[in-house]
Structure 1
Amino acid sequence: MTQILVIIQNKPTQFDVPLYQRIAQEHPFKLIVYYTQTYSNTVFDENYDPEIGRSPDWDHLKNAKYDRRDLTAAETKNAQLVAKKIIADQPDLVILSGYYPRLHAKLAMILKLKGIPIGLRSDNTIPHSELSGFKGLLKRTLLRYWLRLYDYWHPVGTLAREYLETISGITKPTFYFPYNVDNDWFAKTSSTYRDRRNEIRQTFDIPSNAYVVLGIMKWHPREDPLTLVKAFAQLHQQLPNTFLILVGDGILRSDIEKEIEPFKNAVVLPGYVAYSELSKFYGISDVFVHPAVNEPWGVSVNEALACGLPVITSDGVGSRIDLIQEGQNGFVFPQQDIQALTNCLIKIVQSPELSEEFCQKSLKPWSYQTTISEFCSITTVRN
């Protein structure tokens, strides 16, 4: 008998939808995805991102085909009705992505009372959570019991698992549900662009023999592009044949433009680009940097490694724990430490042993196939 998995999350994401489409095509089990915040009104627009002031251009999702069910605004206010619809699907497991909006928490309680197995997908980590003071104590106390409600935990990575175990004080059957990306697609498309690297670099006035540093991020204090810009300035002083490509946009644009003025001929600002265009920039670059100060995961690290690029991240990026092998596929620096990032950049320029092949192999445990295998493993445990 075919197993039925229901996933409840607020909105589609650039990394989850290709996974859902693959499951629909391969059909290892039946998948149904409910979205709770995709209705459009003055409050919500399906993928509106307040940090960039617009909806991201996830053009690769337009023709995705899987069993997608979008709740209306009225339905999101009626947890009993939504639970009834989910129960009618006869799911073997319902995975809820977080406990916000409140509907997710209400559904967890209702489904639990109805005897439906429930799992929690979580990206919360202790370093990225406010757990100090009276409010922090109250939060820890409430969560200690709330996290025990679920039958299964589905953390996105090691730090998220540590959060669940530390806050709850117990362990539960755990199956990872990471923020993976389509590794094969990134590897294939970036390789195609890499074959045309010199030609594409010419369009940006980048010499074929230059060493190119890449940043793809929101120009927002949380992702801290200015630390990368300032570290590159120091790198460029020591190694003039270096260029910076900084993809993105946001509220820090004027600050960034002012900062790069002395060396603007060595910086390319393509603006915000469509998702399908990202692999072009990975393909023509030599190293990727993610300097965020508060990033529970950071899927751009997955993307860069899938494209064969070594990666430098700050210690504010959660995925570093699972994805970065220091000195083998990248380096980690203390967040907002400009000199430390500069040192990492110099070190990586001088580290030809960080091969494209090893970067891609290091990502093998973090793939859509391993996520599907995790889902299938739940059936084995339950039986």
Structure 2
Amino acid sequence: MANSKKRFIFLLSHPIQYFSPFFQLMAKDPDLDLLVLYCSDENVKGHIDKGFGVDVKWDIPLLEGYNYKFLKNNSWKPSIFNGFLGLINFEIFRTLKNERGSYLVIHGWAYATNFLTVIAGKLLGLKLCLRSENPLNQELLKSRTNLFLRKIFFRYLWFRLFDYFFYIGSQNKKLYEYYGVKKEKLVFTPYAVDNDRFRAEYETYKNKKPELRKELVLPADKKIILYAGKYIPKKRPMDLLQAFELLNNDKAALVFLGDGELRMDMEDYISKLNLKNVYLTGFKNQSEIGKYFASADIFVLPSGTGETWGLVVNEAMNFGLPVIVSDLAGCSEDLVIEGLNGFKFQCGNVESIKTKLEYFIEDQVQFKIFSEESRKIINRYSYYTILERIKSI
């Protein structure tokens, strides 16, 4: 290599709002040399997000402050939404040909390009690092036949190709161990959001809850229960809506921050049962969401299978919110310390969600303790921790 810096190359399907701030931080480190390779530029231009069901263009900088390159996509049906064959970037071989000894970080195995990149990395002498989000608890829900075939593929083929495995949390680590990855290859790189940005917003808004609620047209005198994310089946927003109906407490209001395909079903349910104090905000961009977190009192993530982590919980905890999280969400084992900053519940158990909500609505003293603990816990799940751990390999 031309210099003494440790060189990292990240391969991602497209620019992601949660990753770009980390790359900006990493690029400032004097000991590191960074290049990010993107297989698609769809979301930079703006695109119809299939989950939100609206045109999305993120309003935070995705491509500033670090070196990146967009690879030509040779797919005949090019799109990050078109499955495995939606990304086929043969340019990866030419791009990596002079990168012997560099660390190559590949995110998952969802696209053909991921496999092409592993082949290129092996042939060209790069050190391969795998980062995936898959939690073991969801992996074990697959059929016995599926698990048998995956064990052959992961344990004896795919995972043997990598030098390091960047695990995002406890369940993800357990998945690697389940498929035989050795301890010395595991590197803790926690799933994180831009804590600095959210903490700054928290400090700005923490004493302005009445003003924020007025601005957002939310009730000033209610305990606000917040959901944030897409209205899609895997997020299970209907579970929370049903729990709120069972709660039947006029001290509470429920805010669904987001949008998506289940919106009509949710609106029908609200209308048929004549539910009061329920608010569906529609899609809000990154610069807007902090006000909703700062206006809320409790955060709930009812997601099921497919919620490999739930970064929205990280965001909520930066605002000091107590959290109620489904046991199938990948983050639940790490971010929710039972009875300290929140509660877990069995996915789909509406009655359990209601019971947990009652606890927070009626107990003010515990609410403050839970709030403080949320902010303490999330400190470890930061970009700085990731940077420290990958520099140590």
TM-score (norm 1): 0.90
Deviation at 1:377, TM superposition (A): 0.6
Secondary structure of 2:53's aligned partner: coil
Look up the match of 1:276: 287
Whether contact under 8 Å (2:34, 2:67) holds in the other structure is: yes
| Equivalent residue number for residue 71 of structure 1 | 71
Alignment-derived partner of residue 377 in structure 1: 392
Q: C-alpha deviations, 1:14-34, integer Å up to 9, x for none?
A: 211111011123444111110
Matched, 1:8 2:11: yes
- 1:302 aligns with 314
Deviation at residue 195 of structure 1 after TM alignment: 2.3
Which amino acid is the alignment partner of residue 49 of structure 1?
A: D
* Per-residue deviation, 1:270: 1.4
The whole-number CA distance in structure 2 between the counterparts of 1:276 and 1:226 is 26
CA distance 1:176–1:46, shift in 2 (3 Å): farther
Check whether the contact 1:48–1:56 (CA below 8 A) recurs between aligned residues. yes
Deviates more, 1:117-126 or 1:281-290: 117-126
Q: CA deviation at 1:87?
A: 3.4
Question: Which residue does 1:338 correspond to in 2?
Answer: 350
Partner of 2:80: none
Relative to 1, partners in 2 of residues 1:229 and 1:28: Cα closer, same or farther, differing over 3 Å?
Answer: farther
- 1:298-377 matches, cutoff 5 A: 298-349=310-361, 350=363, 351-377=366-392
Shifted more, 170-179 versus 18-27: the winner is 170-179
SS in 2 for 1:305: helix
Cα distance in structure 1, aligned partners of 2:68 and 2:388: 21
Distance, in Å, in 2 between the alignment partners of 1:36 and 1:97 is 12
What's the CA shift string for 1:148-191, capped at 9, x where partnerless? 21000112111111111112364442112332101121122133
Q: Does 1:230 align with 2:242?
A: yes
- What is the match of residue 381 of structure 1? none
TM-score (norm 2): 0.88
User: Does the 8 Å CA contact 2:231/2:263 hold for their aligned counterparts?
Assistant: yes
The reply to whether residue 125 of structure 1 matches residue 135 of structure 2 is yes
Most deviating of 126-135 and 174-183: 126-135
Paired position in structure 1 for 2:112: 102
* Contact 2:256/2:280 (8 A) holds in 1: yes
The superposition leaves residues 286-330 of structure 1 with CA deviations (integer Å, 9 ceiling, x where unpaired) of: 011000012110000100001111111011211011111111111
How far, CA to CA, are the matches of 2:198 and 2:311 in structure 1? 12
Give me the whole-angstrom Cα distance separating, in 2, the residues matched to 1:212 and 1:249: 18
Helix, strand or coil at the partner of 2:369? coil
> What residue number does 2:49 align with?
49
Pair 1:191–1:178, CA change in 2 (3 A):
same
Once residues 94 and 62 of structure 2 are traced to their aligned partners in structure 1, the CA distance between those partners, rounded to angstroms, is 29
- Structure 1 residues 316 and 147 mapped into 2: Cα distance closer, same or farther (>3 Å)? same
For structure 2, the residue ranges without an aligned partner over 5 or more in a row are 76-86
Measure the CA separation in 1 of the matches of 2:292 and 2:254.
Answer: 11
Q: Is the 8 A contact 1:37 1:46 kept in 2?
A: no
> What code does the residue aligned with 1:273 have?
K
Task: Indicate yes or no: 2:97 matched with 1:82.
Answer: no
1:329–1:359 CA contact under 8 A, matched in 2: yes
Aligned residues: 372
1:147-226 maps to which residues of 2 (within 5 A)?
Answer: 147-168=159-180, 170-226=182-238
Which of 134, 159, 165 aligns to 2:145? It is 134
Superimposed CA distance per residue, residues 60-113 of structure 1 (whole angstroms, 9 cap, x where no aligned partner): 12563211111112396454x413312324552111111231221122133123
Q: Residue type of the partner of 2:110?
A: Y
Distance 1:355 1:340 in 2: 18
The yes-or-no answer on 1:58 pairing with 2:58 is yes
Per-residue CA deviation, residues 204-261 of structure 1 (Å, 9 max, x unaligned), is 45443321100002111110001111111222x2x31211111111111111112222
Counterpart-to-counterpart distance in 2, 1:46 and 1:205: 28
Classify the secondary structure of the residue corresponding to 1:165.
Answer: helix
Match of 1:30 among 30, 33, 39: 33
Pair 113,83 (structure 1): closer, same or farther in 2 beyond 3 Å: same
| Structure-2 change in CA distance of 1:33 and 1:65 (3 Å) | same
Q: Which residue of 1 aligns with 2:251?
A: 241
Larger mean Cα displacement after TM superposition, 210-219 or 22-31: 22-31
Partner of 1:293: 304
Cα distance between partner residues in 1 of 2:39 and 2:129: 17
The 2-side partners of 1:317 and 1:52 are apart by 19
Does the CA-based 8 Å contact 2:99-2:124 persist in structure 1? no
Contact 1:158 1:321 in 2 (8 A): yes
Q: Does structure 1 retain, via aligned residues, the 8 Å contact 2:71–2:89?
A: no
Q: CA deviation at 1:358?
A: 2.1
* Distance in 1 (alpha carbons) for counterparts of 2:350 and 2:128: 44
- Alpha-carbon distance in structure 2 between the residues aligned to 1:241 and 1:39: 43
Alignment counterpart, residue 20 of structure 2, candidates 6, 12, 17: 17
| Partner AA of 2:39 in structure 1 | T
The alpha-carbon distance between structure 1 residues 57 and 273, as it changes in their structure 2 partners (threshold 3 A), is farther
Deviations 1:261-280 (A, max 9, x none): 24544112211101111110
* SS of corresponding position for 2:40: coil
Report the aligned-residue RMSD.
Answer: 2.2
Shift of 1:126: 2.5
